[in-house]
Amino acid sequence: MKNRTKLVRKQLDKTLLGFRSILGISIPQKGWIRAIRDSLGMSGKQLADRLHVTQQRVSEIERDELTGSITLKSMRKVADCLDCVFVYAFVPQISLEHTVHDRATQVANARFKRASQSMLLEGQALKEDDELDALYDMVEEMIETLPSTLWDDS
């Protein structure tokens, strides 16, 4: 099951890689709906007719987009009326694989630090090379098993 999770994560990473190019695109000052509508030469009334709503509602929709309170359902409907496709995605800033590795490393370091303190007090401290090997093994095990506590904040 864990191998399946890793495979899904890698496949999702490949899919999401295509979205990386849009990360630098900024939202138009008046929002996407207004920018597309204006570039098509479509009035608010004409979009309202296509949406089967009032012109006032189109103004509300455009305002809601800017405030972030518009629903995904509304965005899809407006996009369709503008002959567009509404795209919704989470685009990781780094790959999901790296995110899991970074988190596993962070958790392993914290656990290892606590364990090292105990071992030091008991006179069982590891050599530096052995510490690095043990830490590496702990990180790899966490990546493979994805323990349920991996994302706990404690």
Q: Look at residues 33, 89, 95 and name the one whose alpha carbon lies nearest to residue 64.
A: 33
Topology classification of domain 26-81: 434 Repressor (Amino-terminal Domain) (1.10.260)
The CA distances from residue 24 to 46, 67, 68, 78, 111, in Å, are 31, 20, 19, 24, 37
pLDDT at 122: 52
Model-level pTM? 0.76
125: three-class secondary structure by DSSP: coil
> Tokens standing for 12?
């999702």
29 neighbors 36 (Cβ within 8 angstroms)? no
In which band, very low, low, confident or very high, does the pLDDT at 102 lie, cut at 50, 70 and 90? very high
Q: Is the pLDDT of residue 138 over 80?
A: yes
90, HSE (Cβ side, Cα atoms, 13 Å):
6
Q: What is the mean pLDDT of residues 2-17?
A: 90
38: three-class secondary structure by DSSP: helix
Q: Where are the domains of the chain?
A: 26-81, 96-145
Q: Is 26 exposed, middle or buried (0-12, 13-18, 19+ CB in 10 A)?
A: exposed
User: What crossing angle do the helices spanning 32-40 and 55-67 adopt, rounded to 10°?
Assistant: 130
Q: What is the mean pLDDT of residues 108-127?
A: 67
